[in-house]
Structure 1
Amino acid sequence: MTVPAHGEPAVGYELRDNGVAVLTLNRPERLNAWGMDIAVPFYELIDRADADEAVRVIVVTGAGRGFCAGADLSGGGATSTESLGDDLGNTDENALGAILGERQPYTLTALRKPVIAAINGACIGFGFTLALMCDVRFAGAGAKFGATFVRLGLVAEQGISWILPRVVGAAPAADLLLSGRKFDAAEASRLGLVKEVVDDEDLLARAIDYADELATRCSPWALAQIKGQLYDESDRANVAATTAKSVELMNLSIKQPDVIEGITSFFEKRNPQFPPLTADD
């Protein structure tokens, strides 16, 4: 597992006696914004948990005040919105891989074991996609959600245009993706995005209790078969194709002036001044 220079692992891993593996995104100083330092150990640990006979259920959560506040577009290197814009404008076709890693969130749907998300605080952008690819989601009362891509001049990324309509239906998915608005845990519950909303301090314990019940009362073989039924081969082909297209469009979008304006306006806390569509767009 990759360990950052300051000594704290970017993803924590705990295997509990009952067969529940808890993975904790561990960059709380940036609300666990997703970067390569998280991506590499996260997927290594996911593979480890799926292969380990002692693991029956996986729980994913975030340390501190956020589950995952989106992609760390600066890669930790940009010191201003201007340098961030330069970084994005100079990226090549491998830009997303350099930021998000080569594997995709839909990897979670292909695991043999159930994945439970305990969503604390910010669950935005890439973090929202990651949570949606988990099988069951619990949210703390203070959780905030948003598919904010469009407000940054970006497209719906990493397969969210496939998974979100499956979870909430076409009309709510259109609202959330086209508006890019943020919404709270109560609305997430009404939309069916989360199974339960619990007090923030009780969130992880409640998610682990649910995982405990699956681990102790449900057949691992049957759980694996049911996951295969939920996400069958045609679904996996669809999400793979949708994700590949979104990667292509995302690499195109970060070359547009819209993304620099979108991110700059976000940091400057003002409305963006996006250019209009032209006949060539």
Structure 2
Amino acid sequence: MVSAEQMKFEVSDRVATITFDRPDKMNAWTPVMESELRRLMAIASEDDDVRAIVITGAGRGFCAGADMGRLSDASSGNTSAAPPVAPAESDDDLAQRYSYLLAVPKPIIAGINGAIAGVGLCIAIYCDLRFMAAGAKLTTSFARRGLIAEHGSAWMLRQLIGPMNAADLLLSGRVVEAAEAERLGLVRMLPADTFRETVQQTASDFANLCSPRSMRIIKQQLTAAPRQTLAEATQLANREVAICRGTEDFKEGVAHFIEKRAPRFTGK
């Protein structure tokens, strides 16, 4: 059993679910949560029985941004409210404060069950997929708090929804409902009444129907793509597909299709 102070960690049907667990505070972000997310992600990454990961929130919110108590202390000059220690400065794209999520070798789904803002949104945009409950709301919020686009969010949002939409969300700090966020291409909206079940089923399908090795390499390809030319991306694919043909998962992928049965992928 994995214990955590401000998060829950469960594994079921090859899916690890990490739940932000401060529902009375709308799961507002704390240094403890930051540390626990890194630790739980490492556990899920290293566990061969886990093949997909869901991040979601307890109660009515996903994560309402930084804990306002800490922001209030910081704005008044309270040194005890200093931010948590960030990773050492690095030129590695995947070694930034939250970009490490892109390097997790398993698909990560953000199950945005309710309100999401600020750093909560930053975490979600580093996930591979974002599902959002109908009626839920999001905001970048930074410009309305006297802050700037934190944690690489300007770069990520520009990649995900284009320069004008990114500028709109970041410069305005306005509130956006799930339906609009879906139109922007930022999330996929799901019915609220079956939201958690649908997210878990989607993650379970990844975990049980797809090759862990294939998903790991595809995630690497998607992460590398914004910094590659088409030629570089194609050459990488050519090298990887040649390797695939000698793997157990490729042989199983063909066999289960021909035999019309459920796959038994090993990740090898």
Q: What TM-score does the superposition give when structure 1 sets the normalisation length?
A: 0.72
**Does residue 75 of structure 2 align to residue 85 of structure 1?**
yes
Say if 1:2 and 1:40, in contact at 8 Å, map to a contact too: no
Aligned equivalents of 1:15 and 1:2: distance in 2?
13
Bigger relative contact order, structure 1 or 2, given CA contacts below 8 A and separation 6+? 1
User: What's the secondary structure of 1:97's corresponding residue?
Assistant: coil
**Does residue 70 of structure 2 align to residue 97 of structure 1?**
no
Letter in 2 for 1:193: L
String of CA shifts for 1:5-34, please: whole Å, max 9, x gaps. Answer: xxxx31100100x21000000011110011
Letter in 1 for 2:83: L
Letter in 1 for 2:101: L
Say if 2:135 and 2:179, in contact at 8 Å, map to a contact too: no
Pair 1:107–1:73, CA change in 2 (3 A): farther
Aligned equivalents of 1:51 and 1:110: distance in 2?
13
How far the C-alpha of 1:146 sits from its partner, in A, is: 0.6
**Does residue 222 of structure 2 align to residue 218 of structure 1?**
no
Structure 2 counterpart of 1:179: 172
Q: Percent identity?
A: 40
Aligned equivalents of 1:56 and 1:172: distance in 2?
33
**Does residue 200 of structure 2 align to residue 208 of structure 1?**
yes
Aligned equivalents of 1:107 and 1:14: distance in 2?
21
Letter in 2 for 1:228: Q
1:58 to 50, 53, 77: 53
String of CA shifts for 1:73-105, please: whole Å, max 9, x gaps. Answer: 533xx8xx5x553246x479xx3325xx54722
Please report the RMSD computed on the Cα atoms of aligned residues, expressed in angstroms. Answer: 2.2
How far the C-alpha of 1:233 sits from its partner, in A, is: 8.7
User: What's the secondary structure of 2:43's corresponding residue?
Assistant: helix
User: What's the secondary structure of 2:105's corresponding residue?
Assistant: coil
Aligned equivalents of 2:133 and 2:24: distance in 1?
19
Structure 1 counterpart of 2:41: 46
Aligned equivalents of 1:65 and 1:234: distance in 2?
34
**Does residue 143 of structure 2 align to residue 140 of structure 1?**
no
Q: Is there any run of 5+ residues in structure 1 with no aligned partner, and where?
A: 4-8, 237-281
Pair 1:234–1:120, CA change in 2 (3 A): closer
Say if 1:110 and 1:228, in contact at 8 Å, map to a contact too: yes
Structure 2 counterpart of 1:191: 184
1:13 to 6, 9, 13: 9
User: What's the secondary structure of 2:138's corresponding residue?
Assistant: strand
Aligned equivalents of 2:64 and 2:227: distance in 1?
27
How far the C-alpha of 1:197 sits from its partner, in A, is: 2.6
Matches within 5 A, 1:239-254: none
Aligned equivalents of 2:119 and 2:222: distance in 1?
22
Say if 1:186 and 1:197, in contact at 8 Å, map to a contact too: no
Aligned equivalents of 1:204 and 1:87: distance in 2?
40
**Does residue 99 of structure 2 align to residue 106 of structure 1?**
yes
Aligned equivalents of 1:128 and 1:47: distance in 2?
21
Q: Is there any run of 5+ residues in structure 2 with no aligned partner, and where?
A: 88-95, 229-268
Say if 1:125 and 1:146, in contact at 8 Å, map to a contact too: yes
Aligned equivalents of 1:39 and 1:168: distance in 2?
26
Say if 1:13 and 1:22, in contact at 8 Å, map to a contact too: yes
Say if 1:2 and 1:37, in contact at 8 Å, map to a contact too: no
The aligned length equals 219
2:64 to 48, 58, 69: 69
Pair 1:45–1:235, CA change in 2 (3 A): farther
Letter in 1 for 2:132: A
Structure 1 counterpart of 2:148: 155
